[in-house]
Chain A
Amino acid sequence: MKKRILIIEDNPMVAKSLQFKLTSDGYDVLIAEDGKKALQILEEEDSIQLVITDLMLPFVTGTELIEHIKNNTPNLPIIVLSTSNQEEIITDAFMMGVNDFITKPFSPNELSLRVKRTIESY
């Protein structure tokens, strides 16, 4: 069965590219364009095996989302994809338990490898 990934990203261009790349890598990809929708999907679907999220999101921020996931499904791996490259933000994210942090602009090939590694290690 295909492994399922949830992407939370409000920039449609980035979301589409990720979806395309990861689908061609053989994953099943769901997209949520804001934090509220993401929570809804997480509620309904229990087959998700990886979350890729932005930090700046409408309605519910990425940080809140990460907290929520870590409280409810601590074994669900998270990769952050963010424009921020400030040390403080990156270390804060790792402290919260995210598995990887990728900065934008990003390389799709590199991201695909990191996704593979993260999913396989779970």
Chain B
Amino acid sequence: MEFPTQQIIEIISWSFLVYGILAYAGYSFSAFFSFFEIREYKRINNQRDEMALLQSTSLPPISILAPAYNEEANIVENVRSLLTVNYPSCEIVIINDGSKDGTLTKLIDSFHLIKDDSLYFDILPSQQVRQIYRSTFKSFKNLTVVDKMNGGKADALNAGINVSKHDIICCIDVDCVLESDALLKLIKPFLNNEKKVIASGGIIRIANSCVIEDGKITEVRLPEKFIVRAQTIEYFRAFLMGRMAWSRVDGLLLISGAFGMFDKETVIEAGGYNSKTVGEDMELLVRMRRLMRAKKEEYSVGFIPDPLCWTEVPPNWTILRRQRNRWTRGTMETLWTHRSMLFNPKYGVLGILSTPYWLFFEWLAPIVEFTGILFFIALLIMGQINWFFVLGFSMVTYGFAVLYSVTALFFEEYSFQQYKKTNYVYKLVLTAFLEPIFFHPFILWASLQGNIDLIRGKKSWGTMSRTGLGKVGKEVMAQ
């Protein structure tokens, strides 16, 4: 029997070319769009009078919520860093999510905590709260520590929301490094009087290898390890080639769990974080949007392109694999829960553009890619391989991947240029050439595993330990 190799290769080649060119055109278009958005943002915000505002007592108070699970090693330092945040009126709520180590003891000792029996309401469901603590020291008077039974990140945040006092909440990862005016910039979108703002978020930057002193970034350095540098490029692609554009058309589906601000009332009304998914940050925003849509209330979601929050990304393959596995499951769970939005014109941009985008580019892409590889192996076994085809096809795929990355690098260079040293540019370009060969296949494998795990019904958190590193929202997947 004659196997129609050539026809099949032709079809695949064409599909890829069309897909690649469409994707590249789409990304470039949204990158240009993002670029103009960023430029406009910078023009509006170059007056620096925000800083003068810091004394103002009329800014709305904020509750910062930070869950901690087995963070004994750094918790004291992290909380100290949070306490220095520059904002006139905020409380910091640390939620100890049933840590098995000495997280709580360390907090109690270092911040002179005593039991506090103030009242609060369990308006959102969460695991049982054992005790609430406050400090006897005046300098830590804004600190509240909630000790609860273990229930995962979403559950911990819900408990934090119940205990928090203020109407605006800011959910962050406890080990994030915030820019000093981060809260001020994030609150600004809430203070317009045109539309109700339900949430706002910003760009996440990679802190690995940076010099951090007293909880502040003092020198931005390019990560030394290849695995982290490759993620740097992923982040550029995600944030610079599109995030702003999504924000402009009000199609953002995700505010990173590492740093985001929310209107508490809307969060509660939507039901709070869903502790049954591993993609709780994305799922919450989608649910809040649906709620607003159901209430027929005008609203918006803010997005700030300034680097506001720095976080460590996985520095080794094991943690990275776990993170990506989880992100894939989170995306799938969210899309499945809200599948009625897909292609539904009732939801406007969200139904027509955002959800299909996540379905095809985020979830489906690795699967398609994997099928391609399987097909290739099949041909190989059957001895049907024409090596010139393989070579031609590989080159075109590889060329596309590199092109996409260097375009993102170019936008970074043009807009923020965070990495100041000249030889960083060369290192990043080199990384862009290596990434499709040495990094991407691994990511592909991790997200496939995520799919398999989900189908096999693995709902658990992949060792529930928030490794302390698995946090940066799912931005990276939105490349």
| A–B in direct contact per CB < 8 Å | yes
Tell me the A residues contacting B by CB distance below 8 Å.
58-59, 61
Shortest Cβ gap from B301 to chain A (Å):
34
B204 to chain A, nearest CB (A): 23
Residue in chain B with minimal CB distance to A35: B213
Contacts of B213 in A (CB 8 A): 58-59
A45 to B118, CA, bound (A): 57
Which B residues touch A59, using CB under 8 A?
A: 213, 218
CA distance A61 to B216 in the complex (A): 12
**Chain A at the B interface: SS class:** loop
A-binding residues in B (CB < 8 A): 213-214, 218
Q: With the chains together, A59 CA to B214 CA distance in Å?
A: 8
Closest Cβ of chain A to B53, distance in Å, is 15
The smallest C-beta distance from A14 to any residue of chain B, in angstroms, reads 16
User: B140 to nearest A CB, angstroms?
Assistant: 15
Chain A residues within 8 Å of B218, by CB? 58-59
Query: Bound state CA distance, A58 and B214, in angstroms?
Result: 9
Cα(A71)–Cα(B218), bound, Å: 27
In the complex formed, the residue of A with least CB distance to B213 is: A59
In the complex, residue of chain B having the shortest beta-carbon distance to the beta carbon of A59: B213
Q: How far is the CA of A59 from the CA of B212 in the complex (A)?
A: 9
Q: Which 5 pairs show the lowest CB-CB distances between chains A and B?
A: A58-B218, A59-B213, A59-B218, A58-B213, A61-B214
**CB of A26 to closest CB in B, whole Å:** 35
CB distance from A21 to the nearest CB of B (A): 25
Shortest beta-carbon distance from B139 to chain A in Å: 10
Nearest to B216 among chain A residues (CB) is A58
B211 to A, closest residue via Cβ: A59
Contacts of A58 in B (CB 8 A): 213, 218
In the assembled complex, how far is the CB of residue B308 from the closest CB belonging to chain A, in whole angstroms? 20
**How many angstroms from the CA of A117 to the CA of B213 in the assembled complex?**
35
Residues of B within 8 A of A61 (CB): 214
Distance between B329 CB and nearest chain A CB, rounded to angstroms: 42
Distance in Å from the Cβ of A58 to the closest Cβ of chain B? Answer: 5
Closest A residue to B139 by CB, please name it: A88
